[in-house]
A and B are shown apart, each in its own frame.
Chain A
Amino acid sequence: QSVLTQPPSVSAAPGQRVTISCTGSSSNIGARYDVHWYQQLPGTAPKLLIYGNSNRPSGVPDRFSGSKSGSSASLAITGLQAEDEADYYCQSYDRSLSGSVFGGGTKLTVL
């Protein structure tokens, strides 16, 4: 059972918009710690997608955006492309554990 909760799967057609939620608690996201997102393409290592709730590293398309409110965060992907099909993970800091925690991951299927 992951500390951060994500839906196991989401799907949408090419060109559409999809959002992935990440729900935490008062010891992590709700404690105002930032959320970071990773994309894991099939058979590859995770790659940093969003850091500090809404910042994109160099090279990440602006189709990807992040937001945070209260104890939850969201990753939005617009103009879906087949290459976006991957697993997405959220991550934050947890003060009870004094360390990093991840969501269970969400598998995005592009129909």
Chain B
Amino acid sequence: QVQLQESGPGLVKPSQTLSLTCTVSGGSISSGTYYWSWIRQPAGRGLEWIGRIYASGSTNYNPSLKSRVTISVDTSKNRFSLTLSSVTAADTALYYCARVKMFGVIEYYFDSWGQGTLVAVSS
């Protein structure tokens, strides 16, 4: 049973860069059938997909965040990471990492989730 665990600072100052890591256990991040994704949820609000990465390093990002987001993967440590630059209070949210199960050529869903980590943007 795969498990995902987010880690990183819980507080980031405005205009700085948010950095989070998701460590995968119980399975290899290099497993060919999965992508790996970041999703966030502002307090009391819905889910927003941030982006995804394949073990090869291939990425797809939400167009609304693309200019500020980078997702990277470290297969040797079985983990992947999120950086979000120039953060504002609007980036305050619970950040989840998730495993992406492909469903067809381009469709997919999220079949395993981390517990989430709260990141607040404040001075």
Q: Which residues of A contact B (CB under 8 A)?
A: 2, 33-34, 36, 38, 44-48, 51-52, 57, 89, 91-93, 97-105
For the complex, what is the distance from the CA of A97 to the CA of B104, rounded to whole Å? 17
User: From residue B54, how far is it (CB to closest CB) to chain A in Å?
Assistant: 14
- The A-contacting residues of B in range 47-86, CB under 8 angstroms, are 47-49, 51-52, 60-63
**Taking the nearest CB of chain A, how far is it from the CB of B6, in angstroms?**
10
Number of CB contacts from chain A to chain B under 8 A: 67
Q: Contact at B96–A102, with CB atoms within 8 Å? A: no
State whether A99 touches B49 (Cβ < 8 A).
Answer: yes
Chain B interfacial residues counted at CB < 8 A: 27
| CB-based contact A48/B109 at 8 Å | yes
Contacts of B51 in A (CB 8 A): 99
Supply 20 further A-B pairs (C-beta < 8 A) apart from A34-B107, A92-B107, A102-B48.
A33-B107, A34-B103, A36-B103, A36-B109, A36-B110, A38-B47, A38-B110, A46-B113, A48-B109, A48-B111, A52-B103, A89-B46, A89-B47, A93-B106, A93-B108, A98-B63, A99-B49, A101-B49, A102-B49, A105-B47
